[in-house]
Amino acid sequence: MKSGNRRGRRIAIIGALLFGALPTVLILPWRWLDPPTSSFMSQAKAQGFDVQQVWVDWQEISSYLPIAVVAAEDQNFPYHHGFDVESIRSALEEKRQRQRGASTISQQVVKNLFLWSGQSWLRKGLEAYLTGFVEVLWPKRRILEIYLNIAEFGPGVYGAEVAARRFFGRSAAELTARQASTLAAVLPNPKRMSAVRPSRYVEQRVAWILRQVKQLGGAAYLDAI
């Protein structure tokens, strides 16, 4: 009996170590290294899309874009620990998502970088599990920097630099407030929404995002991250 108990404890200890070690090995290097691709980009390539992405560092991105994306996608980003409980509650109560979804930027980074699209419980469980590690292992600015470089802004168009050049003929560093808000506006469905030929709905989202950015205090809202 004692032998069985010791073996059970060893298995539990090994399991606990693997539970923490594997995600750390998977996630920690990208705190300093720039991901050369993402799971979503690899899937798009497998589906026959011509994937384009060029990495640019935080200082090479217009200050209008991070705050536009936060205003559009996750206004509590500087303050939550990976999960916006209030947005999740609101989404459940309303049974649908309107201006902003319940997924935080941290969750979207995990999904885009490591996982796959879809609504399965397995994927959502892994997303939640890995999001906790991302929040602990990466600073907030790094999370947002990676998101801006791997987010899809159009079919096969990944990252702020390629999107800025493709849609506006300029670098990510040169984006105006309206252009940045236009890119943020199409993030919920970049395969159907167009930044270069925005629909009336996209234009309405752009106007809403610009108002939200102003209410948040502009780029200074992210100074603390």
* pLDDT tens digits, one per residue of 133-188: 999 999 999 999 999 999 999 999 999 999 999 999 999 999 999 999 999 999 99
Do strands 152-154 and 52-53 pair parallel, antiparallel, or not at all (unpaired)? unpaired
Structure tokens at 42: 């690899």
Chain-centroid distance of CA 172 in Å reads 17
* DSSP three-state, residue 171: coil
Sign of the alpha-carbon dihedral angle for 90, 181, 192, 155: negative
Tell whether the model's pLDDT for residue 27 goes beyond 60.
Answer: yes
Tell me which amino acid residue 103 is.
S
- Predicted model pTM: 0.88
pLDDT (tens digit, 9 = 90+) per residue, 91-143? 545 544 444 456 999 999 999 999 998 889 999 999 999 999 999 999 999 99
